[in-house]
Amino acid sequence: MRAVPLPRLLAAGLLLLVLAMVLAGCGKSGKPEGGPEGAIPPVGAASAVGVATANTTRLGGDDPVSDAAAVARAVYPGLTTATRPQAVVLVDKVDWAASLAASVLASAPLSAPLLYSEGDALPGASLDALRTMRPSGAPALGGAQVIRIGTQAPVPEGLRTRDVSAAGAPADVAVAVQRELDLARGSSHGPVIVLSADAPLALQMPAAGLSAESGALILMLGADSVPAATAAALRGLHHPAIYVIDPADVGKHALSALAGLGHVTPIPDGSTPAAPAGAVANATAVARFTDGTFGWGVKEPGHGLAFANAGRPFDAPASALLSATGDYAPLLLLEGSVGVPAALAGYLSDIQPAYGSAPQYQPVHGTYNHGWLIGNERAISLRTQAEIDSMLAITPRHLSSEEEPPATIE
């Protein structure tokens, strides 16, 4: 396989950026229907679709604020009624507990994108995205258009806000988010994802996308214990299915206590007796995992995939919306900006599309993978993007005798 030459990558990216700016600028002369004052802002460099290749699309910029804005605008361009969200979630860019817990609000029925504030200020990328998307209001949440979790950042005049406290321990924040989800759904139900609040953030990252796709709450454990808030939430769900990500970081006492509150299933983290699992192997294990109707179960070609740098944990909640819309992409992780780790390369090889020589096996009848890359080249380099593109591309291969069609006699 050949990597896509970098000049072609850059040219494609520039072309896409120009087209995005032109399309976004088409609404300059008019006032958006039902939206705040002003026209739809053009796509800015800080929150634009970036370099694209045949099999990958880059979203975002230099930080999670830009990345969240780019993801939100890609899913909800706000140009038609159908491309406007009901509500947008706003979280402080340094509040990990609130950001991760809020990922579930990207699931149905709310399907809310997430934007980041900077404390109680609204950065330009988030403001532009909010104005562009023009949220219509969530009837189940009193018509709220912006759900602010732990922040008082101002929003454009005319938008109705709903404030959720993010005070207390991570377990308390998760339960506060649960109340919003219950209101949106009209009931309390569904599976639960459980994490140790003490686990490295890179090991917690895959929970964001899995929560968005499945609608499973993310609840937190303490140091080998089940906090009172988490236990109360689980009791209210009446013995739910509980999935534990990175079970190696959860103590025996906590696992035992969880077993009394629901049916516990650990999600294998990819560790071996010789070596503990790292963030990359943990993410691929989550992408592979399935239990009945729960889980990604991505073990074959034909999927969307999201790629983020494990050193930028806030990119996981920022990109969670991609796991609940479009091609429903599980989150995969890179160790740094340069290079595809062996564990990830092996996984991509397992699910790489291929075609054979017979007519019914030609590429036009094949399945395809697509990759969303989160952040600019300081998060994931252009060369790494080219490598990922090649690993996602459909390729020719020799079919076995069982796969080849039977010979015909004329």
pTM of the entire predicted model: 0.85
As a whole number of angstroms, the distance between CA 35 and CA 333 comes to 37
CA distances from 360 to 210, 366, 406 (A): 34, 9, 12
Q: What is the DSSP string of 222-257?
A: -SSS--HHHHHHHHHTTS-EEEEESGGGS-HHHHHH
The pLDDT value given to residue 272: 65
Q: What is the dihedral of CA 273, 274, 279, 284, to 10 degrees?
A: -70
The pLDDT value given to residue 366: 75
The pLDDT value given to residue 188: 83
The pLDDT value given to residue 19: 40
The pLDDT value given to residue 50: 64
Length of the chain: 410
Q: Are 309 and 337 in contact (CB under 8 A)?
A: yes
As a whole number of angstroms, the distance between CA 351 and CA 329 comes to 14
As a whole number of angstroms, the distance between CA 308 and CA 169 comes to 27
E-assigned strand segments in 204-348: 217-221, 241-245, 263-267, 304-309, 331-334
Nearest to 138 by CA among 64, 197, 189, 85: 85
Peptide bond preceding 109 in cis form (omega within 30 of 0): yes
Q: Are 29 and 116 in contact (CB under 8 A)?
A: no
Q: Are 79 and 197 in contact (CB under 8 A)?
A: no
Nearest to 55 by CA among 399, 395, 396, 338: 395
As a whole number of angstroms, the distance between CA 112 and CA 138 comes to 10
Dihedral sign for Cα atoms in the order 146, 32, 37, 46:
positive
Query: CA 103, 235, 227 angle in degrees (round to 5)?
Result: 70
As a whole number of angstroms, the distance between CA 230 and CA 236 comes to 10
As a whole number of angstroms, the distance between CA 115 and CA 129 comes to 8
Query: CA 304, 324, 182 angle in degrees (round to 5)?
Result: 160
Residue type present at position 115: L
Residue 67 has phi, psi (to 5 degrees) of -65, -45
pLDDT string in tens for the chain (410-residue length): 334 444 444 444 444 443 444 334 333 333 444 444 344 555 444 444 467 999 999 999 999 999 999 999 999 999 999 999 999 999 999 999 999 999 999 999 999 999 999 999 999 999 999 999 999 999 999 999 999 999 999 999 999 999 999 989 999 999 999 999 999 999 888 899 999 999 999 999 999 999 999 999 999 999 889 999 999 999 999 999 999 998 888 889 999 999 999 999 999 877 666 666 799 999 999 999 999 999 999 999 999 999 999 999 999 999 999 999 999 999 999 999 999 999 999 999 999 998 876 666 677 767 899 999 999 999 999 999 999 999 999 988 755 555 554 444 44
